[in-house]
Structures are given as C-alpha cells and as structure tokens.
Amino acid sequence: MTALSGLSIFACDPGATRGRCHPEHPAPTRTEYQRDRDRIVHSTAFRRLVYKTQVFLNHEGDLFRTRLTHSLEVAQLGRSIARSLQINEDLVEAISLAHDLGHTPFGHAGQDALNGCMADFGGFEHNLQSLRVVDKLEERYPLYDGLNLTFETREGILKHCSRAHAKQLEDVEPNGVGARFLRNERPSLEAQLCNLADEIAYNAHDIDDGVRSGLITLSQLEDVPLFDAYRLSAQAEHPALAEPSRHRRLLYEAIRRMLSAQVYDVIDTTKAALRLHAPAHPDEVRQLPVMVSFSSDMRERSTALKQFLFRHLYRHPRVMETTGHAQHIVRELFDAYMTKPQDMKAAFAAQALEGDAHGRARAVADFIAGMTDRFAVREHERLTGRRLLQE
Ligand code: MG
C-alpha cells in the first residue's frame, strides 16, 4: 500500500485501516478517518462537553475552558504538529475531539468520586469510558450501538488502560484495542501525538484560566522557568507590557511564545527519533519506543510547570472547596440510583434493573458519567432536596 500523497510511509493510511466492528461501504468523498471525525462531532456526548468542567466549574465564569474548548485546542495543536510530521491529520483530529468524551461532570473530582463508588464493581477510568461512549453508549444507528469508528481512532481514544481492563477488552475483542497494553506495544504516531497535544494544551490554558480567576498570579509564575523565560523575552521586546494595565497582553504573549516553543520542540525531537528508528510502515511504530515526545530539557521544564499548576491551582483551597461539593454530589447520586434505578432515564433504568449488582452499578456509572455539571447539580437537588453548587 502506498502512502497517501503528502504523508510519510509511517503515517496511518485510512485506505489500510484495520476497519470497523461492523463493516461499511467506503464513503464517496471522505476518508475513513474523516468519517470518524464527523461522527464524533455529531455525537451527543460531544455536545455535552460544552457543559463539562475542565478545571473551573461551569458557573464560575463564561470565559474559562470547558471540555469542549479544551478538546478543540488539543485538535488544533495536534493537527498543526501532524502536518509538519506528515502524519495523518484527520486521524489526529478525530482522536483529539473524542479523547475526553468519557469524562464525568466536575472534572477530575467527579472521576475520583465515581471511581470510589465503583471500587467493588470494576472501577471507573475515564479513558475506558471514552471508548465505551463511542463503542456502546451513543445510540445513532439502526442496527448497532455506538459510532462504529475505525480501529485506529478507537485505539487512540483508549490512551491508558489497566492490565485487568485490557484483559477484559481482549476477551471481547481478540487482538483489539486492549492488546497493546498486554503486549507492551506503542499506539500509532497519531495517537502518541494526541497525548502530548493534550498536555501542551492544558498546561497553557490552565495558566491563562488560573490567572484570569485570580487564583495564581504573574509574579508566582516567575518560579516556573518554562513560562518565565517567555514572559521575560516578551517584556524585553515590548517594554510597555510591564504596565499592569497591559498584563493580560503580556500573559497572552508569553503563553503564545511558550506554545510555539513546545510545538517546535516536539516537531524537532520527533523528526530526530523518526530518522533514528526509521519505521518503514505504521505497524513498525508499535514495536519501537515512543517517538512523539519533547526533548529531555523541554520534558523537564514542562513537568515543573505541571507540578506548579498542581500545587497552586488544582489544589488551591477555592478549587478544593468546590471539588468537595462535586464529589458529594456524585456519591449521593450514585447511592440514590443504586437504591432506586427507576429515577434514572428510562434506558439506563432498564439496563440497571436487568443486570446483577455489577450490571446495575455500571448502568448507574454510565448515566452519571454522561451528565453535564449543571444536570448533575439539578438532578442531585431533585433527589435530595439540597443544592450544593450553583449553576
Ligand atoms: Mg484532555
């Protein structure tokens, strides 16, 4: 199979896809990965991302990132890097737009709470849930559940997975998307890129949202070498940006420079790795080390930024306070539906009543995971009579 025009020999080729669970005729005008992307954009789960928390809860401000804007930023960064590396931009876009579909309401707080509730029932992992959304929970086709995406898009969506869950996936789908976790293989370059684009996107936008919220300040960021180098260079070139009234422009300029530097670093480092390992086919990528990566220097600086955000933003007392309420809501919803599944939407209630305790818990987790922040708040109030968070 020859590579698509303009793409490298190690790029995923939609003409050579491992295919879909339910075979379909090719589309007249679109490649298989373009079809995947279109299905994701039209899905219900995708539209819900607009009302799901990234870091700040939805009601805290109109300008903070949501899971939807985050996913769009990941797709933008991923596509522009993919173009330079001559790998498949459409596949990168499809994976990026779908990568957070399985996230619960209230961000990581919601996911931790739901995982706790599911401890005796196989746990809850958001990556696995994203796959579950596109494989099972979307109801859009007459003859089967899910979006019937290609193997390559599904593989990219399943970014991480425990060994136990990989074994379960392998039982249902031999040599499927769980296999690489059991064989210790890497995913496609396109999937590798989405992981890194995710990190680049949230590091940058969480600085922006963090400063906008007032929870972190520009002077605190002087302790973060990756950011501060670009703040200094921006200020040296544009001294007027030192004026407090221009600090927002300074912040944007520093973030812009930081983003560009990270993108170019990934492109250079990955091109060097590709030259060194010289894969001759997309499948050879699987046996090789991860090739889409930062240089070791950028890795170190990016990790330091992550640690800063963790300490000063994600663990900020004001964030932690809403986190506590959010976890409470998820736990009480879980208990309420486990006791009375009829309180859920009919399809989930039917699923819950049909199965054993494990089946019931999974139906409850699916229902809660699909909720937007505000639906969860309202639903909790409806069932308990108490409102723990504003909308
Ligand atoms: Mg993400």
Distance 354 CA to ligand 1 centre (A): 34
Distance 245 CA to ligand 1 centre (A): 32
Distance 71 CA to ligand 1 centre (A): 6
Distance 198 CA to ligand 1 centre (A): 5
How many domains does the structure of the chain reveal?
1
Distance 159 CA to ligand 1 centre (A): 10
Residues in contact with 112: Cβ distance below 8 Å, sequence separation at least 6, in sequence order: 327
Spatial distance between the Cα atoms of 110 and 327, rounded to a whole number of angstroms: 6
Spatial distance between the Cα atoms of 136 and 328, rounded to a whole number of angstroms: 28
Other CB atoms closer than 10 Å to residue 187's CB: what's the count?
A: 22
Using alpha carbons, list the distances in angstroms from residue 184 to 131, 162, 168, 178. Answer: 19, 12, 16, 10
Spatial distance between the Cα atoms of 50 and 68, rounded to a whole number of angstroms: 5
Distance 383 CA to ligand 1 centre (A): 31
Distance 70 CA to ligand 1 centre (A): 7
Distance 94 CA to ligand 1 centre (A): 13
Distance 309 CA to ligand 1 centre (A): 15
- For residues 169, 129, 187, 23, the Cα torsion angle rounded to the nearest 10 degrees is 70
Distance 304 CA to ligand 1 centre (A): 19
Give alpha helix (H) positions in the chain. Answer: 32-41, 44-48, 67-85, 89-98, 107-117, 126-132, 151-157, 163-172, 179-183, 189-213, 225-237, 247-277, 296-309, 317-339, 346-354, 357-369, 373-384
Distance 19 CA to ligand 1 centre (A): 25
Spatial distance between the Cα atoms of 60 and 313, rounded to a whole number of angstroms: 15
Distance 103 CA to ligand 1 centre (A): 9
Look at residue 355 in the predicted model and tell me its pLDDT: 84
Amino acid at 228: D
Task: Name beta bridge partners: 53.
Answer: 66
Distance 96 CA to ligand 1 centre (A): 8
Distance 180 CA to ligand 1 centre (A): 21
**For residue 132, with 0-12 CB atoms within 10 Å meaning exposed, 13-18 middle and 19 or more buried, which class applies?**
buried
Distance 113 CA to ligand 1 centre (A): 18
Distance 130 CA to ligand 1 centre (A): 11
Distance 202 CA to ligand 1 centre (A): 7
CATH number at residue 55: 1.10.3210.10
Print the domain residue range for 25. Answer: 1-380+387-391
- For residues 149, 151, 153, 157, the Cα torsion angle rounded to the nearest 10 degrees is 100
Spatial distance between the Cα atoms of 323 and 243, rounded to a whole number of angstroms: 35
- One pLDDT digit (tens) per residue for the chain, 391 residues: 444 678 999 999 999 999 999 999 999 999 999 999 999 999 999 999 998 887 776 666 666 888 999 999 999 999 999 999 999 999 999 999 999 999 999 988 999 999 999 999 999 999 999 999 999 999 999 999 999 999 999 999 999 999 999 999 999 999 999 999 999 999 999 999 999 999 999 999 999 999 988 999 999 999 999 999 999 999 999 999 999 999 999 999 999 999 999 999 999 999 999 999 999 999 999 999 999 999 999 999 999 999 999 999 989 988 888 889 999 999 999 999 999 999 999 999 999 999 899 999 999 999 999 999 999 999 999 999 998 887 7
Distance 199 CA to ligand 1 centre (A): 7
Distance 59 CA to ligand 1 centre (A): 20
Distance 227 CA to ligand 1 centre (A): 21
